[in-house]
Each structure stands twice: as C-alpha cells, then as structure tokens.
C-alpha cells in the first residue's frame, strides 16, 4: 500500500555535534542510528539531500578568536564537514543506501564536485546526496550552505535537526518555563534573534519561500512523522500570524 507523503524531496541539516555523544568527535553508533532514520524515509520514496556541519571537530569562528586568520579557520572547518560526510556515507551504504558525497571544494579522489544538475539527477535516481564543504566560501555557516543548497535543489522543505524538539523563546535546557512555538514566520524568527539558525540562512529561506522545520532527530521516528505531515517540531514559513 502506498504511503501518503507531504514531502517528496528534502534537505536535512545536521550539526557536526550531532555525531558525537558529548558534542565532539564521532560516535559510530550515533552515526548508524541517524543513517537508520534516513533509511526509513528513503524507503518510503523520499529524495534526501544532507548537509552536515563540522563543529564536532573544528569551529572556524572559535578558532579565529585564538588568532588564526578567519578565512583559513573557515577552510579548515570545511574540511571537517567533508570528514563527517564521508563517515555518514559509509554508514548509509552499509545500510544499503546508494549515497554520493559532493563537495564545494574539489577533491576528486574522495568525492564528486558539487554540480547542481548532477545532484538533482542523483536524487531522481534514488541516491542520497551529502553536500560537503559548506558553500565553498569562508564567513558563511553550514546553515547558510544548507539554505543555499535547499533552494538550488528545489527541495520542498529544509529540516534542521537540533537537540530539542523545536524553537523556544528561551533555552529549554536552562529554563523549564520556556515556551515552544508550533509555527513562526521568517520575520518573527529573525526579529527574535533566535540562535537555532543564523540570520543569513533565515533570510535566504525567506527570500525564496523555503519552509524550515526545526525538530529533534534524537526522537525516534520524528523524521518519518514529518514526512507524513504530522505536527513535529516548529515550522518556520511565510504568513504566520503574530501571537495574540
């Protein structure tokens, strides 16, 4: 029996910290679990592109604060995202999912260069595409790279996986009374100065009417629930009314 899906092509954005149990390094079991969640929606017929950050190994902005040139620090961060992407590719293919890594910085021995039309073709053929090395430019985050690739590949939604189950008006880890939003407009998210996604990424999604869903990938089945159209996490989109 065919499954009713709300989304048929998505971009999933993972932080590098999601791959390590304490936010650094890579935990093989965690990577396998994430690959398993992606496999479940892939088997439903969803076309999946992914962007993975590199913060579990290197953060360009933090490194720059120590005196390293910011541009150099950001390029090192791009290489960290490639390492994470190759590890995820290995985990996916061991679960039977044909996967391609494309990088914004050319490195032919390990991955394809990012070519938009080729990436789209991979998606159409049922391959998961992992987009590494950010946008290929320093001073831009992997959130912005995810927004850019999401627009380029004409996905239906950008999914931002976090440690919490949506966007709150305060850090729910520190404030038990923090209020969760089911929906927000782009302007509300920008004006609130939320740290879930940087303003450049939010603005790019706003300008191209790309909906964003912020959710907790650690919640088993959350990704599949979103594909089925169930309420999960926080949806950021246009035309959301201001709260009364």
- Residue 15, annotated ligand binder? yes
Beta strands 212-216 and 234-237, pairing class: antiparallel
Q: Residue 102: which domain range?
A: 9-237
- Residue 140, annotated ligand binder? yes
Which of the four pLDDT bands, split at 50, 70 and 90, describes residue 244?
A: very low
- Residue 85, annotated ligand binder? no
DSSP notation for 48-73: EEEEE--TTT--HHHHHTTTS-HHHH
- Residue 168, annotated ligand binder? yes
Q: Is 41 helix (H, G, I), strand (E, B) or coil?
A: helix
Which of the four pLDDT bands, split at 50, 70 and 90, describes residue 172?
A: confident
- Residue 220, annotated ligand binder? no
Distance between CA atoms of 110 and 186, rounded to whole angstroms? 37
- Residue 171, annotated ligand binder? yes
Q: What is the mean pLDDT of residues 85-113?
A: 97
Distance between CA atoms of 63 and 74, rounded to whole angstroms? 9
Note the pLDDT tens digit of each residue in 22-60.
Answer: 778 999 999 999 999 999 999 999 999 999 999 999 888
- Residue 69, annotated ligand binder? no
Q: How is the chain split among helix, strand and coil, in percent rounded to 5?
A: 35, 20, 45
Q: What is the mean pLDDT of residues 118-143?
A: 97
- Residue 137, annotated ligand binder? yes
More confident residue, 218 or 3: 218
- Residue 103, annotated ligand binder? no
Note the pLDDT tens digit of each residue in 131-154.
Answer: 999 999 999 999 999 999 999 999
Distance between CA atoms of 3 and 230, rounded to whole angstroms? 13
- Residue 199, annotated ligand binder? no
- Residue 54, annotated ligand binder? yes
In a domain, 202, yes or no: yes
103's CB contacts (< 8 A; 6+ apart) are 82, 85, 110, 111, 112, 113, 114, 131, 132, 133
pLDDT of 174 reads 85
In a domain, 176, yes or no: yes
More confident residue, 189 or 130: 130
Which of the four pLDDT bands, split at 50, 70 and 90, describes residue 2?
A: low
In a domain, 185, yes or no: yes
pLDDT of 24 reads 84
In a domain, 148, yes or no: yes
- Residue 13, annotated ligand binder? yes
Q: How far is CA 128 from CA 30, 183, 217, in A?
A: 18, 28, 18
In a domain, 242, yes or no: no
The CATH number of the domain holding residue 142 is 3.40.1160.10
In a domain, 2, yes or no: no
pLDDT of 195 reads 74
Distance between CA atoms of 94 and 35, rounded to whole angstroms? 9
In a domain, 19, yes or no: yes
Q: At residue 20, does pLDDT exceed 90?
A: no
What integer best gives the mean pLDDT of the chain? 92
- Residue 193, annotated ligand binder? no
- Residue 16, annotated ligand binder? yes
- Residue 74, annotated ligand binder? yes
The number of folded domains in the chain is: 1
Structure tokens at 185: 């407009």
pLDDT of 1 reads 43
In a domain, 184, yes or no: yes
pTM equals: 0.94
């Amino acid at each position: 029996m065919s499954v009713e899906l709300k989304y048929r092509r998505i971009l999933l954005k993972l932080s590098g910290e999601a791959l390590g149990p304490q936010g650094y390094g890579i935990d093989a079991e965690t990577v396998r679990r994430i690959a398993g969640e992606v496999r479940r929606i892939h088997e439903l017929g969803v076309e999946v592109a992914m962007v993975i950050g590199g913060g579990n190994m290197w953060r360009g902005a933090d490194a720059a604060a120590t005196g390293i040139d910011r541009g150099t620090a950001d390029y090192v961060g791009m290489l960290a995202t490639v390492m994470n992407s190759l590890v995820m590719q290995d985990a996916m293919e061991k679960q039977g999912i044909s996967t391609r890594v494309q990088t914004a910085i050319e490195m032919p021995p390990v991955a394809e260069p990012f070519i938009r039309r080729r990436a789209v073709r991979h998606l159409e053929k049922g391959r998961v595409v992992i987009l590494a090395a950010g946008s290929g430019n320093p001073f831009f985050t992997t959130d912005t790279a995810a927004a850019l690739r999401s627009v380029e590949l004409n996905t239906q939604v950008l999914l931002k996986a976090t440690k919490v189950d949506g966007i709150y008006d305060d850090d729910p880890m520190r404030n038990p009374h923090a209020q969760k939003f089911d929906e927000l407009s782009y302007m509300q998210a920008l004006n609130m100065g939320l740290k879930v996604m940087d303003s450049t990424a939010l603005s790019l999604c706003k300008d191209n009417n790309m909906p964003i869903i912020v959710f907790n990938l650690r919640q088993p089945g959350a990704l599949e629930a979103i594909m089925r159209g169930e309420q999960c996490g926080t949806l950021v989109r246009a035309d959301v009314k201001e709260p009364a």
